[in-house]
Chains A and B, each alone.
Chain A
Amino acid sequence: MNAVALSPAEAGGTSPRLAMLLSPDDRPGYGGYQVAAKDLVEVARVLRDESGYVYLSSVTGVDYLPQGRMEVVYHLYRIEGGGALALHVQVPRESPSVPSLVGVFPGAEFQEREAWDLLGIRFEGHPDLRRILLWDGFAGYPLRKDWTEPYYEEDSKPYASRWPKGDYRRSEDGNPFKGNVKYPPGFVLEGWTEEGDQSLYEALERGAPKSAGLATERLVVNLGPQHPSTHGIFRMAALVEGETILDLKPAMGYLHRNHEKIGERNTFLMNMPFTDRLDYINSLSNNFGYALAVEQLMAIRPPERAEYIRVIMAELARISNHLWAIGFLLNDLGAFFTPALYAIEERELILDVFEATAGSRMMCNYFRFGGVARDFPEGVLERIRDLVIDRLPRKIDELDSYLTQNEIIRARTIGVGLLPAEKAVAFSTAGPVLRASGVGYDIRKAEPYSIYDRFDFEAAVRPNGDTYDRYLIRLDEMRESLRILQQAVRDIPGGEIQFGKPQYQVRVPAGEAYGRVDGPKGELGFYLVSNGKPNPWRYHVRAPSFINLTALSEMCRGNKIADAVIILGSIDIILGEVDR
Chain B
Amino acid sequence: MYGWEIVKGLGFTLRHMVDTYVEDIRWLGRGRYGTPQGLASRSSKDARGLFTIQYPEEKLPVPEEFRYIPFLVYEEGPGGQRLDRCTSCGICAKVCPPQCIWIVRTTDPKSGRPVPTPAEFYVDVDTCMNCGLCAEYCPFDAIKMDHDYEMASYNRAQTHVFNKERLSKPLSHYAAIRPGNYAQEEAARAEKEARRAAKI
Contacts and interface: CB of A to CB of B under 8 A. Distances in A.
A is bound by B:
yes
A402 B16 CA distance: 12
Main secondary structure of the interface of B (DSSP, over half): mixed
A363 B66 CA distance: 11
Contacts of A338: 13
Contacts of A356: 63-65
Contact of A357 (B65, B95, B129): B65
A406 B6 contact: yes
Contacts of A163: 88, 90, 93-94, 101-103, 105
A374 B135 CA distance: 13
B167 interface: no
Contacts, number: 137
Contact of A166 (B47, B94, B103): B103
Interface in A125-180: 157-159, 161-168, 170
Interface residues of A, number: 54
A273 B102 contact: no
B97 interface: yes
A274 B130 CA distance: 11
Contacts of A502: 136-137
B120 interface: yes
Interface in A35-74: none
Given A158-B99, A358-B65, A360-B130, A387 B137 contact: no
Contacts of A348: 43, 51
A274 B97 contact: yes
B174 to A, nearest CB: 15
B97 A402 contact: no
Given A168-B161, A355-B63, 15 more contacts: A158-B96, A162-B90, A162-B103, A163-B94, A164-B90, A166-B101, A270-B95, A274-B129, A352-B43, A355-B65, A377-B63, A377-B64, A403-B9, A407-B5, A407-B6
Contact of B102 (A168, A363, A390): A168
B103 A164 contact: yes
Interface of A: 157-159, 161-168, 170, 266, 269-274, 276, 338, 342, 345, 348-349, 352, 355-360, 363, 365, 373-374, 377-378, 383, 386-387, 390-391, 398, 401-403, 405-408, 502, 504-505
12 contacts: A162-B96, A163-B93, A167-B102, A273-B129, A273-B131, A345-B51, A355-B65, A359-B67, A360-B130, A387-B45, A504-B91, A505-B94
Contacts of A386: 45
Nearest to A399: B12
A226 to B, nearest CB: 25
Contacts of A365: 131-133
B43 A170 contact: no
Counting from the closest, the 5 A-B pairs by CB-CB distance are A166-B102, A273-B131, A163-B90, A164-B105, A270-B97
Given A355-B66, A407-B3, A408-B6, A166 B157 contact: no
A157 B99 contact: yes
Contacts of B137: 502, 504
A373 to B, nearest CB: 7
Contacts of B124: 168, 170
Given A358-B65, A363-B130, A402-B9, A166 B120 contact: yes
Contacts of B101: 162-163, 166
B99 A162 contact: yes
B62 interface: yes
Contact of A342 (B16, B95, B99, B105): B16
Contacts of B96: 158, 162, 270
Interface in B101-151: 101-105, 114, 120-122, 124, 129-133, 136-137, 145
Given A349-B45, A356-B63, A377 B180 contact: yes
A472 to B, nearest CB: 15
Nearest to A335: B9
Interface in B75-105: 88, 90-91, 93-97, 99, 101-105
A577 to B, nearest CB: 17
Identify the interface centre among B9, B67, B161: most chain A CB within 10 Å of its CB: B9
Contacts of B55: none
A281 to B, nearest CB: 17
B45 A168 contact: no
B63 A159 contact: no
Given A168-B102, A170-B124, A269-B95, A360 B66 contact: yes
B154 interface: no
Contact of B45 (A158, A359, A374, A383): A383
B97 A266 contact: yes
A163 B91 CA distance: 9
